[in-house]
Amino acid sequence: MLQDDLYATMFKRKSVRKYAPGKLDPVMMEMIVSHLSELKPLFPEIRTELKVMTNPEVKGMFKVDAPHFLAFFSEVKEGSPANAGFMMQQMDLFLSANGVGSCWQGGPKPIKEAMGASELEFVTLLAFGPPAQDIHRKSVAEFKREPLAKISDVNGYDDLLEPARLAPSGTNNQPWFFTGGNGAIHVSYARSMIVDQMNQIGAGIAILHLWLAATHSGKIVELRKDRSSDANPPKKYSYVASLILS
Ligand SMILES: Cc1cc2nc3c(=O)[nH]c(=O)nc-3n(C[C@H](O)[C@H](O)[C@H](O)COP(=O)(O)O)c2cc1C
């Protein structure tokens, strides 16, 4: 699968909540499992592990009735939820680009017996399977999202920020803010008493969309922490990471 396919999928993907009976065919499942080892991390120093689970191994609020689930486990470190968002969104796009339905699952968790699948800490889930509904939007107009002016004060780079604006988030609240310009985009997430981890995951998803758009436009992109942005995030936001563009 080419990165260009993932780029194009950002403009049409949607959450799939209706699944056909039965499981994915074994060839598709094998392709999905082998893609797991190709995911790019946002923070390579954080150890992670992804496990495929079955429907009965997962329970909780807002669970969709999919046959398969991808569980993300991680070392507990600063940035691990954003790292999970960045890596799992590559799977969300990969699945959608291959005609497989998927839906992020912030509410549900693996059952006790399945939690032991990894010695790392559970972070989040993605449901997937054969879809029983349209999996793509027909146009960008179908995305319900905030306008760019509400989530960014970056001067320029609208072509990179637009796909980040369309990124999925836990309660579709676009919990991110973009600052910078002139060779850098800095990303912060909206702090929250209730959905702080989910908002950090959301920022990681938005960074992935920015990264795909920047590489698609031919830019060389370095993902890293920027000390002065870390010290000066917008009010009510915390800094996550920057894209340095050249
Ligand atoms: C971190 C995260 C957690 C989510 N949790 C759930 C969930 O538990 N159940 C659900 O049905 N949808 C969940 N969603 C899907 C969002 O509701 C959905 O992405 C958002 O409404 C935007 O719609 P779209 O994905 O169709 O573009 C989650 C999305 C994200 C990014």
Summarize pLDDT for 33-66 with one digit per residue, the tens: 999 999 999 999 999 999 999 999 999 999 999 9
CATH number of the structural domain 3-129: 3.40.109.10
Of all atoms in ligand 1, which is nearest to the CA of residue 143? Answer: 27
Closest-CA residue, ligand 1 atom 29, reads 170
What separation in Å is there between the alpha carbon of 210 and the centre of ligand 1? Answer: 19
Neighbours of 178 (CB within 10 A): 25
Domain boundaries, the chain: 3-129, 144-245
Which sign, positive or negative, has the C-alpha torsion 131, 36, 200, 77? Answer: positive
What is the C-alpha to C-alpha distance for residues 5 and 10, in angstroms, rounded to an integer? Answer: 9
Rounded mean pLDDT of 121-150? 98
CA separation (Å) from 35 to 29, 150, 163, 215?
Answer: 10, 35, 23, 20
What separation in Å is there between the alpha carbon of 235 and the centre of ligand 1? Answer: 25
Q: Which fold has domain 144-245?
A: NADH Oxidase (3.40.109)
Task: Establish how many alpha carbons lie within 13 A of residue 105's alpha carbon, considering only the half-sphere containing its beta carbon.
Answer: 28
Write down the pLDDT at residue 104: 99
Neighbours of 132 (CB within 10 A): 13
Please tell me if the domain spanning 3-129 has the same topology as the one spanning 144-245: yes
What is the C-alpha to C-alpha distance for residues 42 and 226, in angstroms, rounded to an integer? Answer: 14
What separation in Å is there between the alpha carbon of 149 and the centre of ligand 1? Answer: 23
Write down the pLDDT at residue 2: 83
φ, ψ at 69 (rounded to 5°): -140, 145
- Please report which confidence band the pLDDT of residue 1 belongs to, taking 50, 70 and 90 as the band edges: low
Closest-CA residue, ligand 1 atom 9, reads 62
Closest-CA residue, ligand 1 atom 25, reads 15
Q: What is the pLDDT of residues 156-204, one digit of tens each?
A: 999 999 999 999 999 999 999 999 999 999 999 999 999 999 999 999 9
Residue whose structure tokens are 């150890």: 47
Ligand 1 binding pocket (C-beta < 6 A) is 14-15, 17, 62, 64, 103-107, 168-170, 172, 198, 201-202, 205
Beta bridge partners of 42: none
φ, ψ at 244 (rounded to 5°): -100, 120
User: Which of 12, 7, 4, 10 has the alpha carbon at shortest distance from 141?
Assistant: 12
What separation in Å is there between the alpha carbon of 102 and the centre of ligand 1? Answer: 10
What separation in Å is there between the alpha carbon of 25 and the centre of ligand 1? Answer: 25
